[in-house]
Amino acid sequence: MSRNSLWEYANPRKFLQTTDIVLPWVAWFAAVTLVLGLVWGFFFTPDDYRQGSTVKIVYLHVPAALMAINAWIMMLVASLIWIIRRHHVSALAARAAAPVGMVMTVIALLTGALWGQPMWGTWWAWDPRLTSFLILFLFYLGYMALWEAIENDDTAADLTSILCLVGSVFALLSRYAVNFWSQGLHQGASLSVQSGERMAMTFKLPLYVSMAAFALLFIALVLVRTRTEIRARRMRALLARERMGGA
Amino acid sequence: MPDLGKYAEAVLTSYAISLVLLAAIVLLSLRRSRRVKKELQEIEEKVKSNG
């Protein structure tokens, strides 16, 4: 791959052509792995000796939480590309990812509450990880609202990129809060390379499949939504040109 | 259907909420994609016909 080849996809036409081919494959893999991961996890895994059948919530909660954070990190990278290189597709990709990341955050928060009630005896606690996740959710809402509030696309991309940089602190805190503060109800990472109490392979394998499924679903949705944003931007440009021509 | 015991409500609600939310974001994304594509085609045809 040549040094400049990655930037070819910053060309909207090239991006649309490439994703025309890639998108159906990603979407099919996402659908297949999602069905496989959730059916495997729900129907074919045993109850945990401590958590009972609530352990089945892990196949939704962990992948959704992972993607909620990773979506923001993807938005951060896209925003940095916009700030540094002014590629419109990257700004539009960040915009496209936000609602998907927000849905993942809501799933993580709700399934966490539903899991927490029988295990901790409470739906919610002002625990470092839970609180930073709630703040991340509010950042998603603010980010999306800011895009909608500003008419000029480039100004909106500039300001939302700055907001994305600030929000990254909470995306990282959501992941590492348990390590920073040894307090709160939430456990440490479910999957880790460090030694300690490990998840049994019976639970781990379907969890890996579910994590892959959520990641593929996220990619598929971001591609669909970025394509839409590219077309919507072109539409706004054509309408503006028409108005100028008519004036 | 596996026997979920006393936690059935928590597990089933988690799955129901998550699947509804995932279905909603997929359907809304596809619906907007189709609508914008159609509108853009119409505008491009209009621009072409206006020269």
Q: Is the pLDDT reported for residue A192 higher than 60?
A: no
Chain A interface includes B13 (CB < 8 A):
yes
Give residue A205's pLDDT: 95
pLDDT tens-digit readout, A41-92: 999 999 998 899 999 999 999 999 999 999 999 999 999 999 999 999 999 9
Beta-bridge partners for A48: A52
Give residue A244's pLDDT: 80
Q: Test B22 with A242 for CB contact under 8 angstroms.
A: no
Q: Which residues of B touch A35 (CB under 8 A)?
A: none
Give residue A2's pLDDT: 52
pTM, entire model: 0.92
pLDDT tens-digit readout, A152-176: 999 999 999 999 999 998 888 877 7
Residue of B nearest to A226 (CA): B33
Tokens of A174: 């959501």
Q: Test A224 with B33 for CB contact under 8 angstroms.
A: yes
Q: How far is A46 from chain B (nearest CA, A)?
A: 9
The answer to whether ipTM exceeds 0.90 is yes
Closest partner CB to B43 (pick from A60, A225, A235) = A235
> What is d(CA A139, CA A181) in angstroms, rounded to the nearest whole number?
22
Give the confidence band of A3 by pLDDT, cuts at 50, 70, 90: low
Tokens of A102: 């927000």
Produce one character per residue of A67-97: b if its CB has 16 or more CB atoms within 10 Å, e if not: bbbbbbbbbbebbbbbbeeebbbbbbbbbbb
Closest partner CB to B10 (pick from A117, A228, A234) = A117
Cα–Cα distances in angstroms (integers) from residue A81 to residues A78, A90, A118, in the given order = 5, 6, 44
Q: Test B18 with A99 for CB contact under 8 angstroms.
A: no
> What is d(CA A105, CA A102) in angstroms, rounded to the nearest whole number?
5
Residue of A nearest to B25 (CA): A100
Give residue A1's pLDDT: 47
Cβ–Cβ < 8 Å for A157, A98:
no
Chain A interface includes B4 (CB < 8 A):
yes
